[in-house]
Amino acid sequence: MSPPPHNQFMPERPATPRPTRRRLMKRADIAPFLTAISANNPTPQTELLYSTPFSLLVAVVLSAQTTDAAVNKATPALFAEAPTPQAMAALGAERIGQHIRIIGLWQTKAKNVAALAQLLVERHNSVVPADREALEALPGVGRKTANVVLNEIFGHATMAVDTHIFRLGNRTGLAPGATVRAVEDGIIG
C-alpha cells in the first residue's frame, strides 16, 4: 500500500524530537565546581541592606515573594523610624504597613513584623536568637528565613534553598532531592 498523497494545504509535521536525557554532574566534578564558585565570590553576602541582626531579620521576612531591590527601597524609612524591636512593636502593623506598601503581601507582612518585634521584646530581651527553633517560632519566619539569618549573622553553616537552588541541585545532580529540605541537606551534607 502506498502512502497517501501529500496534501498541499497541510504541511507535513516535523518529527517529534526525542527527549534528551539530562547529564548529571559527576561526583568528581562537584568539588571543582564549588571551588570555582567560591573563588568567584569568596565572601557571599545578602543583597538586602541591613545594619543590625534585627534589621536583617525584618528585611528577610519582607523579602518573601518579592525582590531584594523592592525591600531595599522600603526599609530605610522604616528602620529610621523603628530601628529596634521595641520601636517596631510600638509602631504597630498599620504604621509599618505605610512604609512597606510597595512590597507584595504587605498587609500580612506588616502584621508579622509587628508581632515578631513584640515577641522579640517579650521572649528574647529584644535580641535576635541564634537558635533555629526560636527563630522559626517567630511570625513570618520559616526555615529559609532562619537559614539566612543564622548564616549571615551568626556564621552557621546553612543554606537558604529557594526555587533556583532547588532546580540547580536537581538538574546538576549536585544535591538531588524531591523536597527543598532534601536538597538543603544534600548541599550542606
Known catalytic residues are: 144, 162
Distance (Å, whole) CA 22 – CA 70:
35
In the chain, DSSP finds a helix count (H) and a strand count (E) of: 9, 0
Q: 79 CB contacts (<8 Å, ≥6 apart)?
A: 51, 55, 58
CA distances from 79 to 16, 52, 158 (A): 56, 10, 26
Q: Residue 100 corresponds to which cell in the numbers above?
A: 512597606
